[in-house]
Amino acid sequence: MDKFICFGLTEPDYGSDASSLKTTATKTEGGYLINGCKRWIGNATFADYIVVWAKNADDGNRIQAFIVTRGSPGLKTSKIENKYALRMVQNADIEMKDVFVPTKNKLTKSKDFATGTNVILEASRLGVAWMIAGVAAGAYEAALKYALKRQQFGKPIAKYQLIQEKLSRMLNICEMMNSNLILVSMAMDKGKSTIGQVGRVKSGCSRSAREVVSIAREVCGGNGIILDNHVMKCMLDMEAMHTYEGTYEVNMLVSGRELTGGLKSFK
């Protein structure tokens, strides 16, 4: 039988500053008691298991991972309503009050933030960067399709110079994103990528893709603000992805810290 799992890191007061999270795990007979809240957790309302990141009070408050089973006493999940972007993912708030997790449900390889959460974030941020490139390509394709069929002044708008420049610029940006992503992905496959490199490509792609979806909306004119032509959905999704898996600014600062030999501009 298939099982669903989700990743419980972000909290109501701690997003980019993930290492300061407040959720705790306290040793008890046969396992741990988890207390705390999580927010923006994708698919938490129906996941069979939630990987909750918490500070282990009995191990120097190191951030470690604990598998919480759906239906556990003290566990409450609630869907975040009125979300306009990335609607394919149902995000949720999680509340945990003395939720029991047996010792066997503690992930032993994640000894602290560096060996656990950070390793996962490096891979997941690259995945989000690829999603961003896909959304940008979708916006470009939708705009091209619209420009070829939309008639103004007796001919398709794709025949006008300004439209052709916009289409060329969008595709050029998409091509550059893909080239960069391929290089970083190849480095990761060889175990040679770095968290700074991944943060840089994620931020760079989200900034560039925002330009692509904005141009695509311009190409579609007034019809660009309705969902029929797809580009408005791309714009909304891009706004979520711009801050998804770390904001643009934080990812760029992770890169900057690495480039300057470890000079930290934030905690």
- pLDDT tens, residue by residue, 124-171: 999 999 999 999 999 999 999 999 999 999 999 999 999 999 999 999
* Nearest-angstrom CA–CA distance, 23 and 36: 4
- pLDDT tens, residue by residue, 44-61: 999 999 999 999 999 999
pLDDT of residue 217: 97
The partner residues of 68 in beta bridges, in order of sequence, read 50
* Residue 41: DSSP 8-state: E
pLDDT of residue 114: 87
Quick one: residue 40, left, alpha or beta (phi over 0 = left, psi -120 to 50 = alpha)? Answer: left
- pLDDT tens, residue by residue, 87-120: 889 999 999 999 999 999 999 999 998 888 888 8
Mapped onto helix, strand or coil, the DSSP state of residue 215 is helix
pLDDT of residue 209: 98
pLDDT of residue 267: 67
pLDDT of residue 17: 84
Mean pLDDT for 172-198 is 97
- Residue 16 binned pLDDT confidence (cut-offs 50, 70, 90): confident
Is the pTM higher than 0.85? The answer reads yes
Range list of H helices, 190-226: 195-219
pLDDT at 1 over 80: no
pLDDT of residue 15: 86
* Nearest-angstrom CA–CA distance, 138 and 212: 10
- From the number of C-beta atoms within 10 Å of its C-beta (0-12, 13-18, 19+), residue 53 rates as buried
pLDDT of residue 90: 92
In 3D space, the residue among 201, 206, 208 whose CA is nearest the CA of residue 180 turns out to be 201
